[in-house]
Structure 1
Amino acid sequence: MQLVEQYIRLCAARPKEAFGRPLDITLAEVAAILCCTLRNATLTLKKMQARGWLLWQPGRGRGNRSVLTLVLDPADLLLSVAKELVQTGEIRASQELLEQYGQAWPTFAQHFSRWMNIQFGARITREKGSSGRVDTLRLFFDRPFAGLDPIHVLLRSQTHLVKHLFDTLVRFDPATKRVEPHLAFYWEADEDGTRWTFYLRKGVLFHHGCTLTADDVRFSLLRLMQQSFKHRWLARSIAAVDVRDDYVVTIRLKQRDELFLQALSKEQMAIVPRDYAEQMGEQFARLPAGTGPFRVVRHDDSMLVLEAFAPYFAGRPFLDRIELWCVPGMRQPELTEESMLVVDKAHPAYELADASWRDVVRQEQCFQYVSLNAAKKGPLADDAFRALVASMLSGAALRAALQGGREQAEVWGERMQQDTRLPDAKEAARLIAASGYRGEKLALYTYPDADHVEDAEWIREKAKEYGIVIEIRYASPEELAQPAVLQAADLVVDSANADERTELSLVEFLRAEALSITHHLDERTKAEVEQLIRQMGQTTTTEERQAVVRAIMDRLKARHLFVPLYANRIEMIAHPRLSGVSLDAYGWIDFRSVFLRE
């Protein structure tokens, strides 16, 4: 970068029309422009000439001036350097170059952005003289990926990638809603349902080359129980894990739990290699090793790169490589025939696609909500005041005002019909006064992402209409997962991780310490809900568990502890040659099934 800056200094000291024309100049003048010694000026000019940026003809003899020819316009040079950085994988450095010089040379910024837009999608490359092919899927994100340790992931994007890097003992089939064998090919339980024995597949390899054993299973489960306050709710029923031999492990439960197998299928319960995890320590999150269909080969501020794991026990994926570039401020890529894409329908390029592009549409099962803290001393601890606030935060009104793909959410099997009848101004004033509210600020916490910001600002303005003051405080996912922050918040706008494991998703919503609800339940409701969750774990039929789910939802609605706002509708189109594209409950594409047709 220093060489680029020095070239731009030289250009700034010369008339713009001088590009490509020889200019008389002394070495001393060059050194003065570059703020360096004569020797360093000579070395710098040689480096620039070697790159083809300029021509330098030093003067011979005393008093003879040298000749400098600046070959490249700074905008062209910057574009060339930025492209070179991208092509060598230095995405972060290219973005820093854009941030530093994009405003001064807008043509550089425009041309680079246009070039970047055609770098994404799915591509096939072939080596000359070879009949083989390399299938690469290249995507972009606006920030670097945080750690990928299963027991610490928070965001759905992280969880989605964990699913491609790691495996669990069993897997949940969202189509059949049944638990299927995975790392364990067979299991059995005693009559009480408190002692489960799992038989592991032999020869399953971790990415670092070691073989999976029962000791890795025990280590992984205990590691989650001891080190992850975020996800330890998953192992709440586990009393002990016993290794019987290298391929047989027994898990003893404190009590019968009909959701235990579903809990074992969650991505956070993935099995990690004990030796590698202990060796890597905190670095395990950056360069993890699992048994999954893809392995991490690079993970830094520029990009995350996954490569297919050829020995994968469940069958190698067809994609060879997935590149996730970190490009802040990047818009949707352009439609091109060379790059086979999945494009959001909201993108202008959607209009350019012909009828052969395939629709990929689904409403996320995850939903946005606002929770109200009934456990904190203050106005929201008053039932009537909380009911007033909940009624004014109408999901229907928010969806109508903000639109943008927001749809009514299905919340654990039902479309919650919120009572939006608001008291008149006189009654509202009475309820507010009776609650003890005296105009103090209520703290609303959420993330600084665009949709959360819009939601929070709408809530603030709606509350203002009733004389209720809300102060928005933005926090990172890690900050907002801290129990102390959630307990201090009066309201939290967040997203619930719901999928086809309906009952388990509700238990996560209520028990996960990284989510707000468990910290916002008043003592009475919390005791009632815990009793119902235990009851659900004892029931043996889906119908009985669904009845418990309805009972829990009735209590939450009656106590006005959260308001569902919306679910996002994901609408995309896929290139006709891009196959195996479908959306999961979180609105993500399963990379394992994607392939490119000729």
Structure 2
Amino acid sequence: MSLQLVEQYVRLCTGCPALEPGTRVEISLAQVADILCCTLRNATLTLKKMQNLGWLMWQPGRGRGHLSSLTCFIGPSDLVFSTAKELVQRGEIHASRQLIGDYQNRWPGLEDSYARWMSSQFGLSRGAKGTRGGDRVDTLRLFVDRPFGSLDPVSVLLRSQTHLVKQIFDTLVRFDPVTRTIEPQLAFSWDVDEAGRQWIFYLRKGVLFHHGLPLTAEDVCFSLRRLMDKPSLHRWLLRTVEDVRPLDDYTVAVMLKHPDDLLLHALSKEYAAIVPRGYSQEMGESFPALPVGSGPFKVVRNDDSMLVLEAFQSHFAGRPFLDRVELWCVPGLADETAKKQVQLLENDGRAQIAQQRRHPDWHGLSRREQCFQYVSLNGRKPGVLQQPAFRQALASLLDGSEMRADLQGSRHPVEGWGDAGLIAVAAEAVAVNVGMVAKECGYTGEPLRMYTYPDPDHEEDALWIQKRCAASGIVVEIVYAKPEDLAKPELLQRADLVLDSANVDEREELSLLELVFAETLSIYHHLDEAGRSMIAELAAKERQAAMNGILTVLRERNVLVPLYSNRIEREVHPRLCGLSLDSYGWIDYSRVFVRFQEM
């Protein structure tokens, strides 16, 4: 069925008001051609196609002066709705949503009906039996707001992308967030020399990539080298690595510029995931959209409509229980309909989920994100923000506790980085007459440009900051940018303020280093030269001392203003097991399994 034929049917029905479903109407072929804006021949062909599909009955008039008769069997809005559902079932979600969007203004309620139906498609489903051994096919289907685009470990930016990288790829070693220890993964063992500068990693034999070729030391060296190269967005991660080379097919040597206690933490990071050298080079620019790794799930589809992952039968640690994970791209799906997902609900955003649970037999998952929302002040850019007094005054104005009180929702105080953590970073904010300080610093009302993402929470935060600053006579102009644009150094350097979120997980020291060294984040570009030099020296110190020192530099320079962390809460069907929320609020699909129904 073509969408053009659907459009012609809608035009025919709306062009002839008397044409109600089941009602016979007398009409000439010339009138039909006029309504459809086509020739008599094309009108005849179109009517024949519609009749073959069972949409209508066309009976040509016999003899001169006799009108033909037309009977429609389906209302035009019903046809649009059913066609949209057919498109979804074929995996053409983008086209389906476009079709609904084309007619939503014509028929009020069409979009709501479509959203309710779409919400019913999510959750856990059992499909047709597989071809091997008659096993069922367990599919977990969820919705997301945007396509994923790149899933290449060296270029991912969003936490959602990073989460999926963990499902598709493996790293040399793995960080266990519960025990906070490093465990073997692709490397089953490793040695380090007495000087702490040469590490030897021994690779598992028999590890396969998704395209069937085995993992070798060349793949590991290729992956780490491209992470270290300048085009990489995350080269800060291996800033202490001097060289990587294979010693044989299953042994890799990593040489450091100086000892680095966090090397294993860095190698466990998703950005350091191992990719197949040959496939990556062969695919070139197509690799990020359709990557191949060695992880528990393989990518079988990734486009504007959906991302589809299938269990990798040959994963060295054992295949996942789930057979398939589908992430449908449904931007703007209404929150109330989203909450009707059958097996696993999305972020509920309420603090009292246990007391207000909609399904008494379901259980709740919740945790406070370690990630946090912040504003950075560009102390490096020429202008009023270079003056420490102005930055201090502005930092005192952007009070996270007052933002949380005003905006509420799932916003909670920031936690992280121990006793000398973010609370201490904000502790230096003092009550001052911001307008007076601004005038003393030479501020004359010029707009300060604040860049952020066009997501709902960022928009709400940005408007609060703009209003808050305006009350003290400081003009803030909000500029929205796509994530990939907000990661560009030239944009971060020209921004006066950046409203962003920091990625923090249980690898606390490494997360702090990412905040200050990652060139995709604003802090690196907003710290002045003296601040950068101090942090570079501190990073080489003992781990806890380095953390305390870096946080002190950020506090004293008023470059970082922490705002809040989110509380992530989800409801889970009692038959879904093995679920826990990671520090980013996502679930490891490889650990999910389904409890037997009769239990």
> Which TM-score applies when normalising by structure 1?
0.94
Q: Does 1:502 align with 2:508?
A: yes
Query: Following TM superposition, by how much is the alpha carbon of 1:196 offset from its aligned partner in structure 2, in angstroms?
Result: 1.0
1:82 and 1:12 map into 2 onto residues whose CA distance is 19
Query: Following TM superposition, by how much is the alpha carbon of 1:293 offset from its aligned partner in structure 2, in angstroms?
Result: 0.4
Q: Secondary structure at the match of 2:571?
A: strand
Q: Does 1:121 align with 2:127?
A: no
2:377 and 2:304 map into 1 onto residues whose CA distance is 36
- Given that residues 385 and 496 in structure 2 are in contact (C-alpha distance below 8 angstroms), is that contact kept between their aligned partners in structure 1? yes
Q: 1:90 to 1:424 in 2, by over 3 A?
A: closer
Letter in 1 for 2:312: F
- Given that residues 27 and 42 in structure 1 are in contact (C-alpha distance below 8 angstroms), is that contact kept between their aligned partners in structure 2? yes
- Given that residues 122 and 341 in structure 2 are in contact (C-alpha distance below 8 angstroms), is that contact kept between their aligned partners in structure 1? no
Aligned to 1:416: 423
Letter in 2 for 1:100: D
Query: Following TM superposition, by how much is the alpha carbon of 1:117 offset from its aligned partner in structure 2, in angstroms?
Result: 1.5
Aligned to 2:59, which of 57, 61, 68?
Answer: 57
Aligned to 2:496: 490
Query: Following TM superposition, by how much is the alpha carbon of 1:331 offset from its aligned partner in structure 2, in angstroms?
Result: 2.5
Letter in 2 for 1:279: E
Aligned to 2:30: 28
Aligned to 1:237, which of 237, 240, 249?
Answer: 240
Letter in 1 for 2:59: Q
TM-superposition CA deviations, 1:497-521 (whole Å, max 9, x none): 1101011111110100000001011
Aligned to 1:450: 456
Q: Secondary structure at the match of 1:344?
A: coil
Which is worse superposed, 14-23 or 259-268? 14-23
Q: Does 1:385 align with 2:390?
A: yes
Aligned to 1:186: 189
- Given that residues 141 and 328 in structure 2 are in contact (C-alpha distance below 8 angstroms), is that contact kept between their aligned partners in structure 1? yes
Query: Following TM superposition, by how much is the alpha carbon of 1:430 offset from its aligned partner in structure 2, in angstroms?
Result: 4.0
- Given that residues 202 and 252 in structure 2 are in contact (C-alpha distance below 8 angstroms), is that contact kept between their aligned partners in structure 1? yes
Q: Secondary structure at the match of 1:106?
A: coil
Aligned to 1:44: 46
Aligned to 2:207: 204
Query: Following TM superposition, by how much is the alpha carbon of 1:208 offset from its aligned partner in structure 2, in angstroms?
Result: 1.0
Which is worse superposed, 18-27 or 496-505? 18-27
2:357 and 2:527 map into 1 onto residues whose CA distance is 50
Aligned to 2:100, which of 98, 101, 112?
Answer: 98
Aligned to 1:542: none
- Given that residues 151 and 291 in structure 2 are in contact (C-alpha distance below 8 angstroms), is that contact kept between their aligned partners in structure 1? yes
**Correspondence 1:322-471 to 2 at 5 A:** 322-332=325-335, 339-346=342-349, 353-413=358-418, 414=421, 416-417=423-424, 418-419=426-427, 422-423=430-431, 425=433, 428-471=434-477
1:380 and 1:128 map into 2 onto residues whose CA distance is 63
Which is worse superposed, 35-44 or 397-406? 35-44
Which is worse superposed, 185-194 or 32-41? 32-41
1:354 and 1:7 map into 2 onto residues whose CA distance is 43
Query: Following TM superposition, by how much is the alpha carbon of 1:336 offset from its aligned partner in structure 2, in angstroms?
Result: 9.7
Aligned to 2:83, which of 76, 81, 93?
Answer: 81
Query: Following TM superposition, by how much is the alpha carbon of 1:355 offset from its aligned partner in structure 2, in angstroms?
Result: 2.5
Letter in 2 for 1:505: S
Letter in 2 for 1:82: A
- Given that residues 149 and 302 in structure 2 are in contact (C-alpha distance below 8 angstroms), is that contact kept between their aligned partners in structure 1? no
Aligned to 2:585, which of 581, 584, 587?
Answer: 587
Aligned to 2:485: 479
2:405 and 2:155 map into 1 onto residues whose CA distance is 36
Q: Secondary structure at the match of 1:444?
A: strand
2:212 and 2:137 map into 1 onto residues whose CA distance is 23
- Given that residues 120 and 340 in structure 2 are in contact (C-alpha distance below 8 angstroms), is that contact kept between their aligned partners in structure 1? no
Q: 1:279 to 1:35 in 2, by over 3 A?
A: same
Query: Following TM superposition, by how much is the alpha carbon of 1:333 offset from its aligned partner in structure 2, in angstroms?
Result: 6.6
Letter in 2 for 1:579: C
1:244 and 1:424 map into 2 onto residues whose CA distance is 61
Aligned to 1:141, which of 120, 141, 144?
Answer: 144
Letter in 1 for 2:303: D
2:272 and 2:229 map into 1 onto residues whose CA distance is 13
Query: Following TM superposition, by how much is the alpha carbon of 1:66 offset from its aligned partner in structure 2, in angstroms?
Result: 2.1
Letter in 2 for 1:586: Y
Letter in 2 for 1:294: F
Q: 1:280 to 1:128 in 2, by over 3 A?
A: closer
Which is worse superposed, 340-349 or 193-202? 340-349
Query: Following TM superposition, by how much is the alpha carbon of 1:141 offset from its aligned partner in structure 2, in angstroms?
Result: 1.2
Which is worse superposed, 150-159 or 346-355? 346-355
- Given that residues 151 and 228 in structure 1 are in contact (C-alpha distance below 8 angstroms), is that contact kept between their aligned partners in structure 2? no
Q: Secondary structure at the match of 2:229?
A: helix
Query: Following TM superposition, by how much is the alpha carbon of 1:415 offset from its aligned partner in structure 2, in angstroms?
Result: 5.0
Letter in 2 for 1:90: E
Aligned to 1:250: 253
Aligned to 1:109, which of 108, 111, 114?
Answer: 111
2:428 and 2:553 map into 1 onto residues whose CA distance is 18
1:114 and 1:169 map into 2 onto residues whose CA distance is 44
- Given that residues 75 and 107 in structure 1 are in contact (C-alpha distance below 8 angstroms), is that contact kept between their aligned partners in structure 2? no
Q: 1:101 to 1:352 in 2, by over 3 A?
A: farther
- Given that residues 302 and 326 in structure 1 are in contact (C-alpha distance below 8 angstroms), is that contact kept between their aligned partners in structure 2? yes
Unmatched segments (≥5 aa) in structure 1: 540-544
Aligned to 2:550: 552
- Given that residues 13 and 19 in structure 2 are in contact (C-alpha distance below 8 angstroms), is that contact kept between their aligned partners in structure 1? no
- Given that residues 242 and 249 in structure 1 are in contact (C-alpha distance below 8 angstroms), is that contact kept between their aligned partners in structure 2? yes
Letter in 2 for 1:307: E
1:419 and 1:272 map into 2 onto residues whose CA distance is 44
> Sequence identity of aligned pairs in percent?
55
Query: Following TM superposition, by how much is the alpha carbon of 1:337 offset from its aligned partner in structure 2, in angstroms?
Result: 9.8
TM-superposition CA deviations, 1:24-51 (whole Å, max 9, x none): 2222222221111222212211111121
Which is worse superposed, 351-360 or 275-284? 351-360
Q: May I ask how many residue pairs the two structures share in their alignment? A: 588
**Correspondence 1:262-277 to 2 at 5 A:** 262-277=265-280
> Which TM-score applies when normalising by structure 2?
0.94
Q: Secondary structure at the match of 2:287?
A: helix
1:247 and 1:39 map into 2 onto residues whose CA distance is 70
Which is worse superposed, 213-222 or 120-129? 120-129
Unmatched segments (≥5 aa) in structure 2: none
Query: Following TM superposition, by how much is the alpha carbon of 1:16 offset from its aligned partner in structure 2, in angstroms?
Result: 4.3
Query: Following TM superposition, by how much is the alpha carbon of 1:107 offset from its aligned partner in structure 2, in angstroms?
Result: 3.8
Which is worse superposed, 216-225 or 350-359? 350-359
- Given that residues 142 and 328 in structure 1 are in contact (C-alpha distance below 8 angstroms), is that contact kept between their aligned partners in structure 2? yes
2:584 and 2:259 map into 1 onto residues whose CA distance is 29
TM-superposition CA deviations, 1:300-349 (whole Å, max 9, x none): 11111110001001111101111111112102475999932234334899
Q: Secondary structure at the match of 1:526?
A: helix
Q: 1:438 to 1:74 in 2, by over 3 A?
A: same
Q: Aligned-residue CA RMSD in angstroms?
A: 2.1
